[in-house]
Structure 1
Amino acid sequence: MLFNPIAVIVAALSTFVVGFIWYNPKVFGTIWMQESGITEEKAKQGNMIKIFGLTLLFSIMIAFMLPTFVIHQIGALQASGGNVTDEAYLAFMQVHGERFLSFKHGALHGFILGLFFVLPITAVNSLFEQKSWKYILITSGYWIVSLTIMGAIICGWH
């Protein structure tokens, strides 16, 4: 099966694990708070159900789309119009089969997506918001690591 809904959910949940570590005060949490202008008092005023609920929803949305980017077989299937009996799709599968379905391959594509898609978007927004490069690198770094792990889970979990 090319689309694994359990892997998608686990990949989405992995963003919480990465965030728990990444934004820990002993890692980047203190620096991120200084660079973003968030104080502990202000953070405590946030609606945690809303914040974590929407974070989970958005992480699921990202994980739901990741198979398209990290699994080549899905791209071949899409190119065939979703027709599993299409000659081009069958030829691709005959040549490649499950060749690119691995944790390592998914991690590579997740990393590339983070580096060449998320970093530029985060940097553009942050530059206009007049955020520091520390902020840009911490925020983008979180997503690069998260997408690397998410890609590995989604592509490697059969």
Structure 2
Amino acid sequence: METVNVNFWAVVAATISSMILGFVWYSAPVFGKPWMNLIGKSTDELKNGAGLGYSVTFIGALVQAYIMAHFVTYAGAADLVNGAQTGFWAWLGFVVPTFASDTVFSGKSWKLYSIQVGYYLVSLVVMSMILASWR
């Protein structure tokens, strides 16, 4: 396997983009209210575990960005369009089936599925665009 040079600042920017998107995506005016309803949590319940939740989310986004930097390099993506395509295929191949299986076996709502996989679609595409254009 070839060695990949990863641009640390691009990984940080991609991680931050994912966090910002999450703040917007899961805000009350966008999908926050239906999402909270579907997971059965109140605003107060979410605030109580916010520190741990944001920490785990940040670390997860950092790992995703680092791995996506490798995918982008292996795909030879070096512009916004190819970056978006790489993010899309990663989403379609890894996020969609994983969440679909979880939804079927856990009995969770397909509406919840749509909110969550929609977030990851946009997040992975934006991350990959940043990573492809800033190598």
Q: Under a length normalisation based on structure 1, what TM-score does the superposition of the two structures give? A: 0.77
Q: Is the 8 A contact 1:71 1:155 kept in 2?
A: yes
**Cα shift readout 1:5-35 (whole Å, capped 9, x = no counterpart):** 1101110111111111111111111111111
Letter in 2 for 1:121: T
Letter in 1 for 2:129: A
Which of these residues, 12, 28, 32, is aligned with residue 31 of structure 2?
28
Which of these residues, 51, 64, 67, is aligned with residue 65 of structure 1?
67
Matched residues in 1 for 2:105 and 2:39: separation?
Answer: 14
Letter in 1 for 2:73: I
Q: What's 2:90 paired with?
A: 113
Q: What's 1:94 paired with?
A: none
Matched residues in 2 for 1:103 and 1:157: separation?
Answer: 10
Matched residues in 2 for 1:41 and 1:123: separation?
Answer: 29
User: Runs ≥4 in structure 1, deviation > 6 angstroms?
Assistant: none
Which of these residues, 103, 110, 114, is aligned with residue 137 of structure 1?
114
Larger Rg: 1
Q: Is the 8 A contact 1:107 1:148 kept in 2?
A: yes
Q: Under a length normalisation based on structure 2, what TM-score does the superposition of the two structures give? A: 0.89
Matched, 1:8 2:38: no
Say which SS state the counterpart of residue 131 (structure 1) adopts. Answer: coil
Say which SS state the counterpart of residue 27 (structure 1) adopts. Answer: helix
Matched residues in 2 for 1:100 and 1:136: separation?
Answer: 29
Q: Percent identity?
A: 33
Unaligned runs of 5+ in 2: none
Higher relative contact order (CA 8 A, sep 6+): 2
Unaligned runs of 5+ in 1: 76-98
Letter in 1 for 2:54: F
